[in-house]
Chains A and B, each alone.
Chain A
């Protein structure tokens, strides 16, 4: 079956611009997660959705970051006024439920120039 998909695969943007990253989870998975992976760093948790609600936004690094999930499926991560330190690979994962194994998408590589 289809896995987690993300788009775009690569995004280059100028400092100060807004970007939107999209995630399509595995069909039927109620839990959706966003992580960030920077060079030499581990995966950093950003936000978790259960259905359409986000009970945990604790990992969002600043108020420039926001995310939403609609219809219990697709999720969008938005970064406003991008900064160079936002450059990283943004990974989305989904699981059947909280605590189940998470399946990751291929990621979006964001470069802020």
Chain B
């Protein structure tokens, strides 16, 4: 069974304090790893897709990286508006579904 574990469960940062969010996975045949951002009361918002180990993608203050066992979402000099829950999900092609982790709740203090 595919498993996705995100850590830490919650992270509190000071504005400008860079950090990384971890997503570890155990799957049989990864075909894609997805990162989403979810604000309270809203649906997840797509951020990145990574397909192979070594791949990196960037968007503003966010950079996502992928290895054979885990993915990191690096946040550089975060701002309060980056506060949200960040979800990662894996796609293996089986049944076309995404298997999600439980998410990391990020709080950035001004």
Instruction: Determine whether A33 belongs to the interface, using a CB cutoff of 8 Å to chain B.
Output: yes
- Interface membership of A53, Cβ < 8 A: no
Does A113 reach chain B (CB closer than 8 Å)?
A: no
> CB distance A43 to B46 under 8 Å?
no
* Min CB–CB distance B45 → chain A (angstroms): 7
Q: Do A104 and B43 touch across chains, with their CB atoms under 8 A apart?
A: yes
Q: In the complex the two chains form, is A106's CB within 8 Å of B91's CB?
A: no
Stretch in B12-20, B74-82, B98-106 with 4+ CB within 8 Å of A = B98-106
A101 and B100 in contact, given A48-B95, A58-B95 (Cβ under 8 angstroms): no
| Binary contact track B9-34/A, C-beta < 8 Å → 1, others 0 | 00000000000000000000001101
If A31-B96, A48-B95 touch, whether A105 touches B43 (CB-CB below 8 Å) is yes
Interface string of B65-104 (1 = CB under 8 A from A): 0000000000000000000000101010101111111110
What A residues does B97 contact at CB under 8 A? 33, 45, 48, 56, 59
Q: Is A8 among interface residues, defined by CB-CB distance under 8 A?
A: no
B102 in contact with A102 (CB, 8 Å): no
Q: Give Cα A64 to B49, complex, Å.
A: 34
User: Which of B32, B43, B49 has the most chain A CB atoms closer than 10 A to its own CB?
Assistant: B43
A62 CB within 8 Å of chain B? no
A103 and B38 CA atoms in complex are apart in Å by 12
Picked from A42, A103, A105, the residue with its CB within 8 Å of the CB of B102 is A42
Candidates A41, A99, A103; contact of B96 at CB < 8 Å: A99
A31-B96, A43-B87 known; A101+B43 contact, CB < 8 A: no
Q: B57 CB to closest chain A CB, in angstroms?
A: 12
Query: Across the interface, which residues of A come within 8 angstroms of B59, CB to CB?
Result: none
Q: Which residues of A contact B100 (CB under 8 A)?
A: 35, 42-43
Q: Which residues of chain B have a CB within 8 Å of any CB of chain A?
A: 4, 31-32, 34, 36, 41-46, 49, 87, 89, 91, 93, 95-103
Known: A33-B96, A42-B4, A102-B46; 12 extra A-B contacts, CB below 8 A, are A4-B43, A33-B97, A42-B87, A43-B44, A43-B98, A43-B100, A48-B95, A48-B96, A50-B96, A59-B97, A98-B93, A106-B43
